[in-house]
A and B are shown apart, each in its own frame.
Chain A
Amino acid sequence: GAGVSQTPSNKVTEKGKYVELRCDPISGHTALYWYRQSLGQGPEFLIYFQGTGAADDSGLPNDRFFAVRPEGSVSTLKIQRTERGDSAVYLCASSSTSGGSTDTQYFGPGTRLTVL
C-alpha cells in the first residue's frame, strides 16, 4: 500500500513569506507527527495529532508555526513570516490507530524548505 506522502518535495521561499507543507498519512492511521530535521542532525519533534486534534504541540518553536488536520487524515504545517533559520527538512510520520508509545512510526520523504 501507499506510504506517507509529502508535498512539495522541495520548497524555496523568500524571507518573510508564508508557506504550507502537506502530509498525507497512511490510510487508517489516526496518529500523525511532524518533525524537523536540520542539516547533520536527527529529527526533532514538533507536533502530534490524534485524529483531528493537536494533542501535543510542545515542539513548535514559536507562534509562527501552526499545523492543522481538519478531517483527521491530511495535515498541513503552516509557517508564517519565514526566517532563514526555518530552513530544514520537515518530516511527517504516521502510526497505527492506537497511536501508542510503541507503535511504529512510518515516515514520509520530507519537504526540504529553503528560506533565502
Chain B
Amino acid sequence: GESVGLHLPTLSVQEGDNSIINCAYSNSASDYFIWYKQESGKGPQFIIDIRSNMDKRQGQRVTVLLNKTVKHLSLQIAATQPGDSAVYFCAENTYGTSYGKLTFGQGTILTVHP
C-alpha cells in the first residue's frame, strides 16, 4: 500500500505461501531493473534482474514481471520461507548511462510467519 514518511509498505505472509511485492518505477526510459533483498544490518543483495525488452523472467523460486505500459514491476516469491523476511527494493538504471547508476524505490518489508 501507500507509505508516508518513514513507514515502508509491509507484507505479512505465512510460511509456504506465495508473496508478491510491487514497485512503481519513475522513468519510462529506464531499460534495466533489479530486485534487491536487504536484511537488517546488511547491504542489499541481488535477487534477479530484467531488461526492458522482456516482460517476465524466472529464477529459483522468484519471478519478476515488468509492465512498461504502467511502469510497474513485481517480484513473486514462491513457497515463501522465514529466511525470506527482509526489506525488498526495486531499482532501475538511469537510461543513457553506460554504468550502473541505480535509482532505488522505497522498499517493502516482507515478514514471513512460521
Enumerate chain A interface residues (CB-CB to B < 8 A): 4, 31, 33, 35, 39-45, 48, 50, 55-56, 91, 93, 95, 99-110
Contacts and interface: CB of A to CB of B under 8 A. Distances in A.
A42 B89 contact: yes
14 contacts: A4-B43, A31-B100, A40-B5, A40-B7, A41-B106, A43-B89, A50-B99, A55-B99, A91-B43, A95-B100, A100-B99, A107-B36, A107-B45, A109-B43
B7 A42 contact: no
Mostly helix, strand, loop or mixed at chain B's interface?
loop
A30 to B, nearest CB: 11
B49 to A, nearest CB: 7
Given A40-B106, A42-B91, A102-B93, 13 more contacts: A31-B99, A39-B6, A40-B7, A42-B106, A43-B89, A48-B99, A56-B99, A99-B99, A100-B99, A100-B100, A102-B100, A105-B100, A110-B42
Interface of B: 5-8, 31-32, 34, 36, 41-46, 49, 51, 89, 91, 93, 97-107
Contacts of B31: 101
A4 B36 CA distance: 16
A35 B32 CA distance: 18
Contact of B49 (A41, A50, A95, A102): A102
Nearest to B97: A101
A45 B5 contact: no
A32 to B, nearest CB: 10
Contacts of A42: 89, 91, 104-107
A109 B40 CA distance: 10
Nearest to B46: A104
The residue among B42, B49, B51, B99 with the most chain A CB atoms within 10 A of its own CB is B99
A102 B32 contact: yes
B98 A44 contact: no
A45 B101 contact: yes
Contact of A107 (B6, B32, B41, B43): B43
A106 B6 CA distance: 26
